[in-house]
Amino acid sequence: MTTSQFSWIFALLFAGASITSCATATDPAGAATFTGTLWIPPAVTGTTFNLALSKATKALRPGALTNTYGFNGSDFWGPTLLVQKGDAVQINVTNNLPEPTTTHWHGLHIPANMDGGPHQIIVPGQTWSPHFQVMNNAGTFWYHPHLHMKTAEQLAYGAGGLIIVQDAEEAALALPRTYGVDDIPLVLTSRRFTADNQFDLTASFGDVVLANGVIDATAALPAQVVRLRILNAETERSYRIGFADGRTFQVIGTDGGLLGAPVPATNVTLSVGERIEVLVDLSKEPVGQILTLQAFNGGQGAAFPGGATETTGEAGSLLNDRTFDLLQVHVVAATAGAVTAVPQVLVPSAHWTTADVTHQRTLTILESGDGMKFTFDGASYAMDVINQTVAQNAIEAWTVQAGPTSGHAFHIHDVQFTIVARSTGTLNSWEAGWKDTVFVPAGESVTFVAQFADFASATDPFMYHCHMTNHEDGGLMGQFLVQPAP
Ligand SMILES: [Cu+2]
């Protein structure tokens, strides 16, 4: 299906919805609010993809346009790459910015020199053309800049996009999978605005929610089982996502793909870089019904990212320590062939356990200085230093220990892992799924197990880092080589 067909279907949906009143989302600033329509990034298919990153402007608030970045002419964010497991793909990434960038394929299991980390720099005017086989299972992944010390800024301007991997196992399930209709991408972030409507890049926590780049977003969703693919694309904030009416939804997938079976939940916490797929049953909702997806971030305490009480300054936000709206859903008529039941069984996986482990290591996050300086074991990121060396095919347990005052969203490239332990002894039920990013709360540790198979290089490292982009840019990143098996 082409992009224009997607847009056309979505336009029809909205035309049929007769939306007369869209109460605006919470606006704690008390400023004028818009009635936004959730933008669905165009989906592109095939095996050769062209991405061009350029400066743009977007009308986000009354008055001056906001300076943004976007791929392929978008005024914020980029197209969704829809790829098939097993396909050999090439992606031509052209940098039209006046500064260097990189494009990292977050969560994909690919060679280090195709990964788009800090070493694969694309200078202005240049096109970088990585190629790789899609080996991941069906799931929701994403691409974003990874240039050292520029990741937070370039991502904040809007340089990012989703990657949806499809495979035969997912296709065989009775799941909603019509992109933009009953299979909805939802990219959550927030921004603070300066008086002249520009993103305030000194703020680690925004004052205004952007859902797919839209303020006060509303979405017309059909009265049937609907799938949301949610990405936390924040700088630092976590989201405790649930519905205002407390309804139960089903978690069906995590970072690396589908769970073995749906897990019922009324709220799920997503830290920066994490994805989750959920099914929401709207089949019994009357057309015209309005639901609100919210972040239940109040009362979580100062160690929760976004839980501090201050409203101004670098760590302050008007959204801190409160419940706020993410998306308003307007229920419209069901589509033909609607999914009306949640499958009982999804995709069983054989997960790693501690019994499989051939090597273990511990990373300790140290806090120092003015409270914004974090390192792994005292070593700030350096492009020419290899911090860890892993033997190809090793099955390793990594324990990440957070310091006493700040939690971190730990992300490792190359692999999908299984979380086997938290120091609190409590794992959330949906954490049984494949993961590439995990929140490590202040003072706690998390242990995961992964196999470092397929790709090795004596020269090209993979990254591990905190995905809170300001922490990452501040040096909370390391790199590892996977040494070829002898
Ligand atoms: Cu961090």
Same domain, 303 and 425: no
Residue 472 C-alpha to ligand 1 middle, in angstroms? Answer: 7
Choose the final residue of a domain: 299, 332, 365: 332
Residue 236 C-alpha to ligand 1 middle, in angstroms? Answer: 8
Phi then psi for residue 209, to 5 deg, are: -75, 140
For β-strands 290-296 and 323-332, DSSP reports them as: antiparallel
Residue 476 C-alpha to ligand 1 middle, in angstroms? Answer: 7
Same domain, 129 and 27: yes
User: Which tokens sit at 67?
Assistant: 């300076």
- In contact, 397 and 420? CB cutoff 8 Å: yes
DSSP 113: G
Residue 417 C-alpha to ligand 1 middle, in angstroms? Answer: 19
Within a domain: residue 299?
Answer: yes
Q: Which domain holds residue 302?
A: 3-332
What is the number of structural domains in the chain?
Answer: 2
Rounded Cα gap, residues 169 and 352, in angstroms:
20
- In contact, 196 and 62? CB cutoff 8 Å: no
Residue 377 C-alpha to ligand 1 middle, in angstroms? Answer: 14
Within a domain: residue 251?
Answer: yes
Residue 33 C-alpha to ligand 1 middle, in angstroms? Answer: 32
Same domain, 222 and 307: yes
Within a domain: residue 339?
Answer: no
Same domain, 148 and 245: yes
Rounded Cα gap, residues 93 and 52, in angstroms:
6
Residue 68 is predicted with a pLDDT of 98
- Partners of 445 in beta bridges: 401
- In contact, 121 and 31? CB cutoff 8 Å: no
Same domain, 365 and 273: no
Residue 365 C-alpha to ligand 1 middle, in angstroms? Answer: 9
Rounded Cα gap, residues 184 and 281, in angstroms:
14
The CATH number of whichever domain residue 442 belongs to comes to 2.60.40.420
Residue 16 C-alpha to ligand 1 middle, in angstroms? Answer: 44
- Partners of 432 in beta bridges: none
Residue with tokens 């279907």: 9
- In contact, 245 and 281? CB cutoff 8 Å: no
Residue 95 C-alpha to ligand 1 middle, in angstroms? Answer: 28
SS3 per-residue string spanning 161-182:
EEEEEECHHHHCCCCCCCECCC
Task: Write b or e for each residue in 235-267: b if 16 or more Cβ atoms lie within 10 A of its Cβ, otherwise e.
Answer: bbbbbbbbbeeeeebbbbbbbbbbbebbbebee
Q: What is the pLDDT along the chain (486 residues), one digit of tens a residue?
A: 333 333 333 333 333 333 333 333 444 443 335 479 999 999 999 999 999 999 999 999 999 999 999 999 999 999 999 999 999 999 999 999 999 999 999 999 999 999 999 999 999 999 999 999 999 999 999 999 999 999 999 999 999 999 999 999 999 999 999 999 999 999 999 999 999 999 999 999 999 999 999 999 999 999 999 999 999 999 999 999 999 999 999 999 999 999 999 999 999 999 999 999 999 999 999 999 999 999 999 999 999 999 999 999 988 999 999 999 999 999 999 999 999 999 999 999 999 999 999 999 999 999 986 656 899 999 999 999 999 999 999 999 999 999 999 999 999 999 999 999 999 998 988 899 999 999 999 999 999 999 999 999 999 999 999 999 999 999 999 999 999 987
DSSP 285: S
Within a domain: residue 345?
Answer: no
Residue 1 C-alpha to ligand 1 middle, in angstroms? Answer: 39
Same domain, 47 and 174: yes
Rounded Cα gap, residues 313 and 257, in angstroms:
38
Same domain, 186 and 238: yes
Which helix (DSSP H) or strand (DSSP E) does residue 376 occupy? strand 373-376
Within a domain: residue 341?
Answer: no
Within a domain: residue 344?
Answer: no
Residue 466 C-alpha to ligand 1 middle, in angstroms? Answer: 4
Same domain, 361 and 241: no
Residue 90 C-alpha to ligand 1 middle, in angstroms? Answer: 32
DSSP 14: H
| Residues 6 or more apart in contact with residue 144 via CB below 8 angstroms | 103, 104, 106, 151, 154, 155, 159, 160, 161, 233
Choose the final residue of a domain: 297, 332, 367: 332
Same domain, 206 and 90: yes
Report the SS3 class of residue 356: helix
| Residues 6 or more apart in contact with residue 194 via CB below 8 angstroms | 200
Phi then psi for residue 210, to 5 deg, are: -115, 120
Same domain, 364 and 300: no
Same domain, 52 and 108: yes
Within a domain: residue 348?
Answer: no
Residue 14 is predicted with a pLDDT of 35
Phi then psi for residue 221, to 5 deg, are: -120, 140
Burial, 459: exposed, middle or buried (Cβ in 10 Å; 0-12, 13-18, 19+)?
exposed
Rounded Cα gap, residues 141 and 347, in angstroms:
18
Distances (CA, A) of 286 to 44, 242, 331: 33, 20, 7
| Residues 6 or more apart in contact with residue 337 via CB below 8 angstroms | none
Within a domain: residue 340?
Answer: no
Phi then psi for residue 306, to 5 deg, are: 105, 5
Same domain, 364 and 302: no
